[in-house]
Every structure is written in structure tokens, then in C-alpha cells.
Amino acid sequence: MSHNDVPEFLQDALKFGINLGLERMNELDRLIGDPQKDLKVVHVAGTNGKGSVVTFLSSCLAESGLKVGIYTSPFLERFSERMRIIDGREGLDRLLKDDTEGEINEEDLNRLSRRVEEACGEMVRNGFEHPTEFELVTAVCYLWFKEQKVDVAVLETGLGGRLDSTNVFDDPLVTVITSIGLDHQDRLGDTIDKIAKEKAGIFKKGAPAYVSDPDMMILPPDLKVQVRSALDEAASEKDVSINYVDALEDCVRFTDDGKMAFEAFGKEYVTRLLGRHQVLNATLAIRVLKDVFELDEDVIGEGISKARWKGRAELLSLDPPVILDGGHNVQCAQSLVSTLKDMCGGRFRDLKFRVVIGVMSDKNVEGMIKTLYDAGLDPVEVYAVRVDNARSMDPEGLSNIIYFVYNNSIRPMAYENALEGVTKACEKTAEDGIPLLVTGSLYLIGEVRGKLCTITDNWL
């Protein structure tokens, strides 16, 4: 389902931007019958790793035979990716063959959007602010999951936690917080402890909380201490006991065929989600699956092996080598370089890549580029492109930042059209075999991934 197929009512609501707060969402839910009250929810927040943890959790729960609803954002290639239902093991196996499996169809989206639109109109007439696009889509999701009678809904917060539109559940099955970093400081707070407190806003009394151990997060030591203190304080205020989860990142093998094996709780698991940071994400999910859902180890192992998450250190092809990664902050950049060194048994350890990059102008772009430079990424060529998004950084400006950070040793080529840039880069990689890395904003990955999949037949 392309964005052109999305109901006009939802598209028009994009003009209301991001407006954190629960008053509108609570009223909207009330007017549509509070469908969220009939859902059994796993609620996931965090700066980095939310999508991966949601993927691991939902894959394993489906493998166990449950009908699982999944809500994530943003979408990469299709709007309908934002909400999906995996109906047991058979549904999961179908998803491995067709990545559109289980996504909401156009008929259901239109029908449920009309119901939400009616409620929205009543809200506005009663003096409420107009809901944001994210709030409206979230309401559609709740209606759909209730209607389809999902056994469990795995929900990813959109932004933060405390005031996020998904934070309307009094009794989730479990709350989960992944790694925390400095992001969205204009909305969540200008310090790491403020951001951590916002994420911890999803904690609920009576619901167990599982959190990535701050010592495992990609942060300076003093910030790790601040994160732990903020989380502990938030948990104490709500009488919640935190289960901190660490991982054995040293017990990792990267296979030649693009997979990663790791150890957790005395068992080896294999996954296609690459990077040592994924070991913590997977271990966090495994702990929740063992403690809360009491899943069998073999079921978890199968679910972990079947998990897929597009656009995050995704190895699309080995011949020619094409890697996609939608890392949008400094921590993501650090994880990316570490993963590039490890993947495929160290095949790309010299870090010589042809790079296509496009970013949002409101991110710490210079910090991201400097992280890549300091970590040793050695571009043979760089294509700076404009992403099809109003927030995209001008490619000439991005090119200048790269030129400056790399001490004038790299002069990137600027492309106003991302598809044109990535096509030229991929064609050259097909000729000379130099690995192609497409990185930056997830919006860029979503824009070009389909095009890359048509250039060669050697996809994994």
C-alpha cells in the first residue's frame, strides 16, 4: 500500500505535526469505544533498538502459535507496514516469503479510518485540539487489533513514552525499554536523565519492567550512571521493580553467509539481524519471552532465526555487496561501523565502501559523520542525496560537512534525486565490486530499497 492509497483524512493530519500529550488520545479512544482496553499489550520504548526488540518478540510469539498484532513506525516502503498481524507459525512462515504478509489492507484501513474521522470531528466540535496523524493512525490500529481478536499486541512508542499516544494502557502484560541515547532533545529534554524519565513513563504498577542494562548502552560512563538513576527513580515512584538485562556480546560469531550466532542464557541462537548491539536487543527479548510468556527454548530459537527487520544493517546482497542501514544518530553510527567490521566473517573489515547518504536536517549530522570518520569508515566515493522528505538536509550542505570532517580528502557528489544517486552508485558497484553502503535516514532507506532490489537478482 503506497502512501497515495492512504485515506486523505490521515494524510491531511500530517499538518498537525508532532504534539505530545495524552488528552486528545484518551478522548479519541473514548469516542471509538476504548478498543485498547481489550488488548493484551507488550509496550516497548527506547531510543535505539525498539524495532529490533519488537521484531524478536513478535516473531517468537507467532512461532509459539499466537496471533500477534505489531505496531511500529515509521514505515519504510509502504504505509501499511505500520500495523501488521502475524497469525501463528504459518503466518510467520508466509511473512518470510512475502514481506507484505499480514499488513492492514486498504479496505480495512479506509473503513476504520472513517470511524476514527467521525470521532475526530466530534472531538473538534467539543473544543478539543485536532488529533495528530500519529494519534489517528494509532486509534485505527487499536480498532483493527480488537476487531481481528489478536492474542497479544506488541506496540512500539512513537516518541518518548510518558506522553506518547501508545501510553494509554493501565495494565500492559509487560513494559520494555531498550537502549537510551540523546535524541529528540527538543521534545524529550536536553539531558540524558530527562530523556530516560520520559521513556520510563510507560512503567505501570503491577506490570513487570525489563530494561537494557545501562552499562551495555553506547554512552559515556557518567551518562550510564544518570540513566540508571533516572530509571530507578521512575520505577520507585510507580512501585515497579526493574529487571535489568545485560548480554554476552563477546560470545558472537559472524558467519560467511551473513548471519550472526550468539549465546544467551546458556543456549546459542542464530539471527539475520546483524551487529553486536543486536545481541543485547535479542537477549532482552528472550528474557521477556522466558519470564512473562514462559516460551520453550526451541520455540524462541526458531523465532529468533526467523526475525527480519528491514533497513538496519541489512545485507541485501553479497554479489555485489549491498548493505542498508537507517542509523540516524551517533549511537547508530557507532553500531554500524562495528557491525561492518564483523559481518560476513570480517569480509568488510577494511571499511572501504562506496557510500550513499541522505539525512534529516534536524539530526546531529556532523556528529554522525565524525563518528563514522573516527571509527575508520574509508569511503571510496560518497553520494550525498536529498531524501524525499521536507526535513531532508540539502545534499550540497551534507556534502560540505563530509568534506570538512574528512579533512578535505573526500569530495562527495551531490544529487537532488536520491534514486538517481543510488542507481549510479549501484551500477558502479556492479562493475567494480566495491561494497555499497546506503545509510542515513530511514526515510532514505525506504525510498531506495525497492529500486535496489530490481538492479540485481543476487539478493539474499
CATH topology of domain 314-455: Protein-Tyrosine Phosphatase; Chain A (3.90.190)
Sequence ranges of the chain with CATH classification 3.90.190.20: 314-455
The pLDDT tens digits for 205-238 are: 999 999 999 999 989 999 999 999 999 999 999 9
Please give the mean pLDDT across all residues of the chain. 93
What are the phi and psi torsion angles at 9 (to 5°)?
Answer: -55, -40
Query: Which three cell numbers, joined as nine digits, stand for 281?
Result: 536487543
DSSP-derived pairing of the beta strands 67-71 and 83-87: antiparallel
Its pTM stands at 0.89
Tell me, what amino acid is at 413?
A: M
Q: What is the rounded CA–CA span in Å between residue 102 and residue 84?
A: 5
Q: How confident is the model at residue 335 (pLDDT cuts 50, 70, 90)?
A: confident
How far, in Å, are 188, 246, 365 from residue 359 at the CA level? 21, 31, 7
Q: What is the pLDDT of residue 228?
A: 97
Q: What is the pLDDT of residue 18?
A: 86
The pLDDT tens digits for 45-74 are: 999 899 999 999 999 999 999 999 999 988
Closest to 304 in 3D by CA, of 34, 57, 5, 37: 57
Q: Would you give the DSSP letter of residue 217?
A: S
Strand order in the sheet with 252-254: 252-254, 260-264, 267-271
Largest CA distance in the chain: 64
Query: Which three cell numbers, joined as nine digits, stand for 268?
Result: 546459542
Closest to 444 in 3D by CA, of 391, 403, 405, 377: 391
CATH topology of domain 3-306: UDP-N-acetylmuramoyl-L-alanine:D-glutamate ligase (3.40.1190)
Contact 137, 10 (CB under 8 A): yes
Q: What is the rounded CA–CA span in Å between residue 91 and residue 88?
A: 5
Q: Would you give the DSSP letter of residue 130?
A: P
Query: Which three cell numbers, joined as nine digits, stand for 238?
Result: 510507580
Q: What is the pLDDT of residue 249?
A: 79
Contact 264, 283 (CB under 8 A): yes
Query: Which three cell numbers, joined as nine digits, stand for 359?
Result: 539525512
Sequence ranges of the chain with CATH classification 3.40.1190.10: 3-306
